[in-house]
Structure 1
Amino acid sequence: MDVTVQDLKVQLAANEILKGVSLEVKNGTFIGVLGPNGSGKSTLLKTVYRMQKASHGAVMLDDKPLQSYKPKALAREMAVVGQFNNINFDLTVEEIVMLGRSPHLGALEREKQKDRDLVADSLAKVGMESYAKRSFATLSGGEKQRIVLARALAQQPSLLILDEPTNHLDITYQLQILNIIRGLGINVLAALHDLALAAQYCDAIYILNKGVIDSYGPPEDIINREMVRRIYRVDCKITEDSQAGMAISYFPLT
Structure 2
Amino acid sequence: MTPERLARFEANRRRLFGVAYRLLGEASAAEDVVQDAYLRWERCDTAVSPEAWLTTVVTHLCLDRLTSARARRERYVGTWLPEPILTGGPHDPLEAVTQRELLSMGMLVLLERLTPPERAVFVLREAFGHSHREIAEILGVTEPHARQLYRRAQRHVAEERTRFTPSPEQGEVLLRRFMAATLAGDVAALERMLADDVVAWADGGGKAPATRGPVTGREQVVRHLLALTRYASRIGFEPETVNGQPALAFYLDDRLAGVTVVEFDHDRVVTIRAVANPDKLAYVAKQKI
Higher strand proportion: 1
Answer 1 or 2: higher relative contact order, Cα 8 Å, separation at least 6: 1
State which structure, 1 or 2, has the greater radius of gyration over its C-alpha atoms.
2
TM-score, with normalisation over the residues of structure 1?
0.27
TM-score, with normalisation over the residues of structure 2?
0.25
